[in-house]
Amino acid sequence: MPPHTVVIGVDSSTQSTKAAFVDIATGRLLAVGRAPHVVTGEAGARETDPEVWWRALRDAVAAGLKESGVPAEAVTGIAVAGQQHGLVVLGADGSPLRPALLWNDTRSAPQAAALTAALGGADAWTARTGSVPVAAMTASKWMWLRENEPATAAAATAIRLPHDFLTERLSGVAVTDPGDASGTCWYSTATGAYDPELLELLSIEPASLPEVASSGAARIGSLTAGAAGALGLPAGIAVAAGTGDNMSAAVGLGLGGAGLLDHPVLSLGTSGTVFAASRTRPASPALSGFAAADGTYLPLACTLNCTLAVDKVAALLGLDRADAAPGGEAVLLPYLDGERTPDLPTASGLLTGLRHDTTPQQLLGAAYEGAVFTVLRALDELLRACGLDPEDPEVAARPLLLIGGGARGHQWVETVRRLSGRPVTVPAGGELVAMGAAALAASAVTGRDPVAIATGWQTGEDPQLAAVERDLATWARIGSVLDRASQPLLGADRPRA
């Protein structure tokens, strides 16, 4: 292999780090090094020591070098895509002051509600940031920290997102990108910069935040000698700004704002996420109006409970995750960690419709149905917020791109097909977040457009699975249960679902 032909795309997710070694010219995936993370917490808390991410990155790169057989000298660039929203606070010496609060830590729900009210309501927030504060957003977590650990907040000299933390470790430069920054609720998608009034509301010093690069593909520096020694890579190779995991997946799929919602994406992982590329800036409380890594927009809706919740139900039943059947009359809302969409941060799971002839396999199938229903209803909200009618036959016929760990599971794919009635495409390449990060790294090396690079690699081109008849009876049954469970939210209290 000629020298200087390989880039590394890093996917630092909630549960693990993956380092994809990719040939720049062909997009061939040479190897994927992996290393696990440790997530701690209970009763709504979800935390990880950021040093765990750095050690996992180091281990994943070492594993990828070994598996690929690529000489270190062939690597010419690296970019990190990270889980969104997590709050990392650093002290004067650059070290984390405490474990990071992860996106799925729901303790900051009261702070989210208070922030929403402080600015005058949801519409005021979406007009500025594109999103309304919920427990997942970094601004809510920062306010939780200020109220519950004021000494730690006062000692913080730097505030970072997970991917920012790793990028700074690689390059020595404090830089983020518009995509990941747009998930903080202190970056304005309307102006393309941090919002001074929101920083004042949050009591955040601008100097504590990373600079915002023009895009996730921008070369923001070079691999430092220290980082190079830790990773076993050449010092001086290109480090791209990187981005959030959803934005990186969009790049990996070759989505860059060419059209509005032509190919909605469902990502089935720890969370269930639906997004699409758009050149139009959406501003609706019904969704998160994020920026994309390339300067366009990525309207997105996210649910908390997806593959992990279904795996938990399978474990409780003593079943393999594939041993499921349609739920029959049973309905299971698997909101085991609260829920983000719908906004039920204190919810727990709800099971109803049991009969004497209900089988364990049907209960597991009902968990799949509950999780998929929640993601697909979030898709409907996204479509409506962008001016499209989800019941319009033309809109309803648009294929879904199905990605994430769940996309490799037969039960997940078939449940999505049955409840959506849409054609489904499951990209065979996999590792789309890491491949998107690799395209960002390749762009930093070559100066070419990252979406064009990923499109040339054909990371998102795969045959479609034909539409099947939509299971409207199951859809209506789950919707009725969820609507009844959510009805008390019209009052002052948030009950457990």
Going by the annotation, the residues of the binding site are: 84-85
Q: How far apart are CA 308 and CA 325, in angstroms?
A: 18
Residue whose C-alpha is closest to residue 34's, from 10, 4, 5, 2? 10
Q: How far apart are CA 308 and CA 412, in angstroms?
A: 12
Residue type, 306: C
- 23 noted as active-site residue: no
DSSP letter for 431, please. -
Q: How far apart are CA 265 and CA 267, in angstroms?
A: 6
- Under 8 Å between Cβ of 219 and 212: no
Which is the catalytic residue, given 11, 180, 195, 245? 245
Quick check: helix, strand or coil at residue 16?
A: strand
Query: Which token pair is 73?
Result: 């000298």
- Under 8 Å between Cβ of 398 and 263: yes
- Under 8 Å between Cβ of 363 and 332: yes
In the numeric block, the tokens 């720890």 are attached to 270
Alpha carbons within 13 A on the beta-carbon side of 5: 12
Q: Which helix (H) or strand (E) holds 88?
A: strand 88-90
Quick check: helix, strand or coil at residue 285?
A: coil
CA distances from 474 to 58, 368, 388, 422, 471 (A): 46, 12, 24, 16, 6
Query: Which token pair is 313?
Result: 């139900």
Cα 452-249-397 angle, rounded to 5 deg = 90
Sign of CA dihedral 453, 455, 456, 461: positive
Residue stretches of the annotated binding site for substrate:
84-85
In the numeric block, the tokens 């300067």 are attached to 295
In the numeric block, the tokens 């081109």 are attached to 461
Quick check: helix, strand or coil at residue 12?
A: strand
Quick check: helix, strand or coil at residue 466?
A: coil
Residue whose C-alpha is closest to residue 426's, from 414, 439, 443, 444? 414
CA distances from 157 to 49, 90, 91, 94, 210 (A): 18, 6, 5, 8, 11
Which residues form the catalytic set? 245
